[in-house]
C-alpha cells in the first residue's frame, strides 16, 4: 500500500485529490491547519479507515518530526491559501507555507526517499506579456503589490524544489496549476466561479470586476486532479515544471454570461473596480504536459459549469431547508 502525505487535505483541491488517492487504495495522511479548508471535507474523508488527519501547520519546523509523516512514498504539498481574498488577508502565512512549508516537505522527502509534488500556480507568470504561457516563459511579476505574497512565495517554493532536485536528487515535480473549479469551492471563497454561481443562484447581482475583458482558462477539478496524479507517477516528470490547466480561454464577461445562461438566472451583471495587479490574460500552453504525461483536460467549461451549478443548487437548497 502506498503511503501518501497530503498537505492542504481539507481544501478544495486537497479533498478531491484525497478521494482519488483513497480510491486507488493508498493510505493518506492529511495535514491541514484548517485556515481556509473545510472541516466537513475531513469528516467525509475520515469515513475511510485509510485516511488519517493531523491538524497542524506545514510552516512549523515541528512537522518534520511528526511520526505520522515519516516513511511516506509520496508527498503532495498543496497547503496554501489559493483565493486572492484569503491570501491577501493572510500574506505572511502565505509566504511561510510556500517557502518554509515547502522546505519542510522537501526535507521529509530527502530523509525518507519520497517523491514530492508541489502545487505552484499560473500566478508564477504574473501579468503575462507572452500569450499563451509555456513553462519556459519567466513571467512578469510585481514584487511590490497585493498579489506578491502569493506569486513570489510560489516562485521561491519552486526554487526550493529545484535545489533539492539538483543538490539531493529528490524526485520533485512542480505543477503550475491554472484556475480550477467545481462545486467543492467554498461559497465565500471569493474566486470567480464560486462568486458568480452563488450570485446567480441566489438572485444577487453578478459582480464583474473591471470591464470583464480580462481572460482566464478554467479547468474542471477532475481534470486537474488526474493531471497531478499522473505527474506524481511519471518519472519523466522528475525535476520538471508542467502547466496543468485547460487551454480554453474566456473573458470574465463571457463567463458571467455563461453562468447566467446555464443557471437560467435573472441576476443582473454589474461592474465593480478591477483589483490592483489583476492579470489581463491567462491561458496555458499544455504541449509539455501532453508530451510528458499524455494528459489533456476532458471537461469543457459549459459541461463543468452544468455540474457545478447543479451541485451548488442542491447545497443551497439543503442550507435553506436547514434554516427552516
Sites of contact with ligand UDP (CB under 6 A) = 84, 179, 191-192, 195, 207-209, 214, 216, 252, 275, 278
Site for ligand NAD in 56-85 (CB under 6 A): 57-59, 78-82
Least distance to ligand NAD from the beta carbon of 120, Å?
A: 7
Packing angle, helices 301-323 and 252-263, rounded to 10:
60
Q: Could you please report the per-residue DSSP string of 177-245? A: E--EE-TTS-TTS--HHHHHHHHHHHTPPEEEETTS--EEE-EEHHHHHHHHHHHHH-GGGTTEEEEES
Q: What residues are paired with 176 via a beta bridge?
A: 120, 243
> Is cis: bond before 282, omega within 30 of 0?
no
- Residue found under cell 463567463: 255
The answer to the question of residue 34 lying near ligand NAD (CB under 6 A) is yes
Work out whether 194 is an interface residue with ligand NAD (CB under 6 A).
no
Do the Cβ atoms of 258 and 250 come closer than 8 Å? yes
- Cβ 268 to ligand NAD shortest distance, Å: 27
> Given 150, 181, 220, 312, which residue is catalytic?
150
Please list, residue by residue across 68-78, b when 16 or more beta carbons sit within 10 angstroms of its beta carbon and e when fewer do: ebeebbbbbbb
Q: Judge whether 253 and 213 are in contact, CB under 8 Å.
A: yes
Q: Helix or strand or coil: residue 84?
A: helix
Question: Which CB atom, from 37 or from 171, has the smaller least distance to ligand NAD?
Answer: 37
Q: What's the closest the beta carbon of residue 212 comes to ligand NAD, in angstroms?
A: 19
Q: Which of 97, 108, 193, 293 binds ligand NAD (CB under 6 A)?
A: 97
Answer yes or no whether residue 35 interacts with ligand NAD by CB under 6 A. yes
Active site includes 118?
no
Sequential DSSP letters for 129-161? SSSSB-TT---B--SSSTTHHHHHHHHHHHHHH
Under the criterion CB under 6 A, does residue 127 sit at the interface with ligand NAD? Answer: no
Shortest spacing between CB 88 and ligand NAD, in angstroms: 13
| Closest distance of CB 278 from ligand UDP, Å | 5
The window from 2-10, 235-243, 275-283, 294-302 that contacts ligand NAD (CB under 6 A) reads: 2-10
**Which among 30-38, 131-139, 261-269, 300-308 is the span making contact with ligand NAD, rule CB under 6 A?**
30-38
The site for ligand NAD, by CB under 6 A, has a size of 29
Q: Is 179 in the site for ligand NAD (CB under 6 A)?
A: yes
Nearest residue to the partner ligand NAD, using Cβ: 11
Member of 4, 6, 7, 105 binding ligand NAD (CB under 6 A): 7
Size of the chain, expressed as the number of residues it contains: 324
Q: Give catalytic residue positions.
A: 150
Amino acid at each position: 500500500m502506498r503511503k501518501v502525505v497530503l498537505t492542504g487535505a481539507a481544501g478544495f483541491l486537497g479533498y478531491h485529490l484525497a478521494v482519488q488517492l483513497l480510491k486507488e487504495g493508498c493510505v493518506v495522511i492529511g495535514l491541514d491547519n484548517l485556515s481556509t479548508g473545510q472541516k466537513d471535507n475531513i469528516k467525509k474523508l475520515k469515513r475511510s479507515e485509510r485516511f488519517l488527519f493531523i491538524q497542524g501547520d506545514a510552516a512549523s519546523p515541528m512537522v518534520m518530526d511528526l511520526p505520522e509523516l515519516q516513511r511516506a512514498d509520496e508527498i503532495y504539498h498543496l497547503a496554501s491559501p489559493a483565493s486572492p481574498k484569503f491570501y491577501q488577508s493572510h500574506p505572511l502565512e502565505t509566504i511561510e507555507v510556500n517557502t518554509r512549508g515547502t522546505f519542510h516537505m522537501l526535507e521529509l522527502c530527502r530523509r525518507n526517499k519520497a517523491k514530492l509534488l508541489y502545487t505552484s500556480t499560473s500566478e508564477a507568470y504574473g501579468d503575462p506579456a507572452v500569450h499563451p504561457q509555456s513553462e519556459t516563459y519567466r513571467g512578469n511579476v510585481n514584487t511590490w503589490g497585493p498579489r506578491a505574497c502569493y506569486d513570489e512565495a510560489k516562485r521561491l517554493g519552486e526554487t526550493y524544489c529545484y535545489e533539492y532536485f539538483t543538490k539531493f536528487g529528490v524526485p520533485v515535480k512542480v505543477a503550475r496549476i491554472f484556475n480550477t473549479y467545481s462545486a467543492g469551492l467554498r461559497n465565500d471563497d471569493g474566486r470567480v466561479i464560486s462568486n458568480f454561481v452563488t450570485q446567480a443562484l441566489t438572485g444577487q447581482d453578478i459582480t464583474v470586476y473591471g470591464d470583464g475583458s480580462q481572460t482566464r482558462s478554467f479547468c474542471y477539478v477532475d481534470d486537474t486532479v488526474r493531471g497531478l496524479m499522473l505527474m506524481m507517477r511519471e518519472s519523466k516528470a522528475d525535476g520538471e515544471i508542467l502547466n496543468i490547466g485547460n487551454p480554453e480561454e474566456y473573458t470574465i464577461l463571457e463567463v458571467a454570461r455563461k453562468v447566467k445562461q446555464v443557471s437560467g438566472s435573472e441576476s443582473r451583471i454589474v461592474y465593480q473596480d478591477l483589483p490592483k495587479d489583476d492579470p489581463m490574460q491567462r491561458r496555458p500552453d499544455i504541449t509539455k504536459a501532453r508530451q510528458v504525461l499524455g494528459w489533456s483536460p476532458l471537461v469543457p467549461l459549459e459541461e463543468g459549469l452544468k455540474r457545478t451549478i447543479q451541485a451548488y443548487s442542491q447545497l443551497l437548497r439543503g442550507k435553506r431547508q436547514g434554516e427552516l
